[in-house]
A and B are shown apart, each in its own frame.
Chain A
Amino acid sequence: MTASTLNTGSTLAGRTAREKVGGPDAPWARLGGTLVAIAVLFAAYRIYQHATAFTVGLDYFEPAFQTYWMTLLYAELAIEAVLGVGMLSWIWFTREKDLSGLAPAEELRRYYGMFAWLFVYGFTIFFTTCIFTEADAAWHQVTVRDTDFTPTHIGLFYFAIPMSIIMGTSAFLWTHTRLPQFRGRVSFGFALLVAGPIMIMPNLGFNEWGHTFFYAEELFAAPIHWGFVLLGWSAFAVGGMIVQALQRIVELTEPQEKPLDA
């Protein structure tokens, strides 16, 4: 590495260079399409929530609540189960048994793929932990809770978080089956990054138990909610995973004088 390589003076807008020079590229089209699909899905859900939460979502014991919200809950749980099992099965059963002969260019392309998966995961996490979480905060401070399945809980805990879990576990499995570096062992950082949203579900059980028996207020930064933040902190291990991946990417992006077999 020379100083000139470090300070190339290039910017993020280095597209022209990318178009002219060969080598593998990131799956931009699929990534973009997936991000748009996720954005549309979350936006549609949000519009539904906005339209119905304050009209037919205030009383669990009204028939309209069962129609508009409990039906949605059952439907989304079923769809997520199919989606999750389907995606993970597809990733698992389409893996190659032997990665020893993987060409470096293909391996680099798969690292782009890994980062694209992380992009999708991060995008889902943003919707989940920012927009859907604070919708829950706002909702529970202006209404009186009468069920564990409030409209924002149905949105957060049974739609957004399962979606994050599906994206996270898919990214994890894809990486650990497609990349030689991750084959036969587990990245601790990656495992923690994915474990956080999964462990939110058992913590949700504690949360509902606590709200039922001993915690009546809807203060958001309350001790009863701290278990959730501990699980959010599992993302702090992302650094270890990035270091692991970058160590290999550095090797893969070392220029060689001799042309390579593609």
Chain B
Amino acid sequence: MNTQSAVRTTAEQHRAHVIFDWLAIPIIVLLFMGIFSFHFALTVGDWDYWVDWRDRRWWPLVTPLSLLVLPGVFGYLLWEKFRIPVAGTLSILCLAAASWISRTLNFELFAGFPMNMVWPSTYVGLGLLLDCTLLLTRSFFWTGFIGGFLFGLLIYPLNWPLLAPFHVPVEYNGTLVTVADLQGYQYIRTAMPEYVRIIEESTLRTFGEAVTPLTAVFAAFIAILNYWFWVWIGYLGAKAIWIRKVV
């Protein structure tokens, strides 16, 4: 390869750098929107599609498990190679944008559900906590320990201002339901019967209202390990590997 440079002056260099920003940043945004929404649809999917899936037992546990994947993988890349702590916030922002576009187009306009039944939860705050922890500690270990813990812990309280009104009780045909359950009942989902919902069922061992904190703390511990694991995957993914012999 030619060892010469393609630019002569710092002005030309600056121009080249600006051009690459104009190309690369939209690519990152598009890939985050595409990959994250695909990944999230196939792992969390229905818990985020339907308001009557957001329970106290599974939703706050499954969500951080899935949600931490891209912040971990691309957190490594953007921090280790660029020292830019935005992977958590930006990837989740892209997920949020993609989710709102898709819910509106597919669930509201195409399938006909009211938006208040299929709104995406908000997770941007969790990405911010993760990114800021990484910036302040400059350590993946402490980011997992503190940021990852908060990431798993705070999904429920972060969303409670949005979700709480849908858990107001209603008496319907002699049955106690929440507003969310009633939406799930009234708005017909032909291929989604009631039993398909993977949500908390009562046991003799749920001590009063301690269900949510239990799930949150457990999810928080899992999230620590989860973050570290995906950072490691990010480390593998960022390796510049060349293959000379294909077959």
Direct contact of A and B (CB under 8 A): yes
Interface residues of A (CB under 8 A from B): 5, 8, 10, 12, 14, 17-18, 21-26, 46, 49-50, 53, 102-105, 107-108, 112, 115-116, 118-119, 122-123, 125-126, 128-131, 133-135, 137-145, 180-181, 184-189, 191, 217-221, 225-226, 228-229, 232-233, 235-240, 242-244, 246-249, 251-260
Asked if residues B13 and A115 are in contact (CB atoms below 8 Å), the reply is no
From the candidates A139, A229, A247, name the one contacting B39 in the complex (CB within 8 A).
A229
B173 in the interface (beta carbon within 8 A): no
Residue of B nearest to A256 (CB): B5
Given contacts A18-B19, A188-B241, contact A242 B77 (CB under 8 A): yes
B162 to chain A, nearest CB (A): 20
In the assembled complex, which residues on chain A have CB atoms less than 8 Å from the CB atom of B24?
A: 115, 242
Asked if residues A18 and B15 are in contact (CB atoms below 8 Å), the reply is yes
Asked if residues B244 and A141 are in contact (CB atoms below 8 Å), the reply is no
From the candidates A143, A144, A254, name the one contacting B7 in the complex (CB within 8 A).
A254
B19 to chain A, nearest CB (A): 5
Asked if residues A253 and B35 are in contact (CB atoms below 8 Å), the reply is no
From the candidates A236, A253, A255, A260, name the one contacting B237 in the complex (CB within 8 A).
A236
Q: Which label, helix, strand, loop or mixed, suits the secondary structure of the B interface?
A: helix
CA distance in complex: A146, B181 (Å) = 28
Q: Using a Cβ cutoff of 8 Å, how many contacts connect chains A and B?
A: 276
Interface size on B, residues (CB 8 A): 79
In the assembled complex, which residues on chain B have CB atoms less than 8 Å from the CB atom of A23?
A: 6-8, 12, 15-16
Assuming A126-B33, A253-B17, what are 6 further A-B pairs, CB within 8 angstroms? A5-B14, A128-B34, A130-B102, A186-B242, A236-B74, A256-B8
In the assembled complex, which residues on chain B have CB atoms less than 8 Å from the CB atom of A102?
A: 2
Residue of B nearest to A221 (CB): B45
Asked if residues A130 and B38 are in contact (CB atoms below 8 Å), the reply is yes
From the candidates B33, B81, B190, B243, name the one contacting A239 in the complex (CB within 8 A).
B81
In the assembled complex, which residues on chain B have CB atoms less than 8 Å from the CB atom of A12?
A: 18, 21-22, 25
CA distance in complex: A189, B241 (Å) = 7
B208 in the interface (beta carbon within 8 A): no
Q: Which label, helix, strand, loop or mixed, suits the secondary structure of the A interface?
A: helix
B110 in the interface (beta carbon within 8 A): yes
From the candidates A116, A135, A236, A251, name the one contacting B110 in the complex (CB within 8 A).
A135
Asked if residues A119 and B18 are in contact (CB atoms below 8 Å), the reply is no
In the assembled complex, which residues on chain B have CB atoms less than 8 Å from the CB atom of A21?
A: 9, 11-12, 14-15
Residue of A nearest to B9 (CB): A255
CA distance in complex: A126, B30 (Å) = 6
From the candidates A122, A142, A187, A251, name the one contacting B31 in the complex (CB within 8 A).
A122
In the assembled complex, which residues on chain A have CB atoms less than 8 Å from the CB atom of B62?
A: 221
Given contacts A131-B101, A240-B237, A260-B6, contact A112 B110 (CB under 8 A): no
